[in-house]
Each structure stands twice: as structure tokens, then as C-alpha cells.
């Protein structure tokens, strides 16, 4: 669970950095702003849509990712136990009956 939450945090941080990098610097924004104010866009940009999707689907994806890791770890653990049992198993006893004296 801890690694899934870390992955989610890193994803959110990466999106925030992408949004910050895409935004113009304050002095550039002042120079680029026309004298008249334009109406705000009705559709969010692709980065905003990606960020919204991440916020909506992030917890579910992190949960599925954690479940997949757990499942794979259980499979690997089972295989290791089988292999170790083969290595550590005692040798088979002979089937011949030895005469008792």
C-alpha cells in the first residue's frame, strides 16, 4: 500500500510540474496579455484534462497496481517454496527390505 501511495504522489507531483512548466512566466504573461480581457476558455486544455483524469482514476489505479504486486509476490513466494522443498527434501528411502538379524 505504501508503494502504491508513493507512486500516486509521484504522478500527481509530475503533473503539477508539467502544469507549472507550461504556464508562462509572470513577466511574459503581462506582456502577452492583451489590453482587453478575453473570455475564459470553455474547454480545459489537455494538461488540465490529464490532471483531472489522474485525480479521478488515480486511487483506483493505485489500488489495482498494489493488488497486482501482491498477487505476483504470492506467486513468486509459492514457486520459491516449491523449489526449496525440492532442494531440501530428504532422499527417498530404499524400497528393499533389509533382513533383520
How far apart CA 82 and CA 59 sit, in angstroms, is: 35
pLDDT of residue 96: 61
Query: What was the pLDDT predicted at 35?
Result: 57
Contact of 3 with 66, CB cutoff 8 Å? yes
* Residue 67 located in a structural domain: yes
Task: Give me the number of domains the chain comprises.
Answer: 1
CA–CA distance, 57 with 68 (Å, rounded to integer) = 16
pLDDT at 44: 80
In a domain, 76, yes or no: yes
pLDDT of residue 97: 59
Q: Which pLDDT does position 62 carry in this prediction?
A: 93
Please indicate, yes or no, if residue 83 is contained in any of the structural domains.
yes
Range of the domain at 68: 59-88
| CA atoms of 63 and 53, how far apart (whole Å) | 16
Alpha-carbon span 15 to 77, nearest angstrom: 35
Which residues of the chain fall short of a pLDDT of 70? 1-2, 4-5, 8-10, 12-41, 91-101
The pTM is what?
A: 0.39
pLDDT the model gives residue 99: 58
Amino acid at each position: 500500500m505504501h508503494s502504491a501511495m508513493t507512486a500516486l504522489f509521484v504522478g500527481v507531483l509530475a503533473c503539477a510540474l508539467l502544469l507549472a512548466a507550461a504556464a508562462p512566466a509572470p513577466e511574459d504573461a503581462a506582456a502577452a496579455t492583451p489590453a482587453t480581457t478575453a473570455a475564459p476558455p470553455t474547454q480545459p486544455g489537455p494538461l488540465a484534462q490529464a490532471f483531472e483524469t489522474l485525480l479521478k482514476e488515480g486511487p483506483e489505479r493505485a489500488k489495482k497496481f498494489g493488488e497486482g504486486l501482491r498477487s505476483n509476490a504470492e506467486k513468486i513466494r509459492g514457486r520459491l517454496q516449491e523449489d526449496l522443498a525440492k532442494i531440501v527434501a530428504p532422499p527417498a528411502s530404499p524400497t528393499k527390505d533389509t533382513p533383520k538379524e
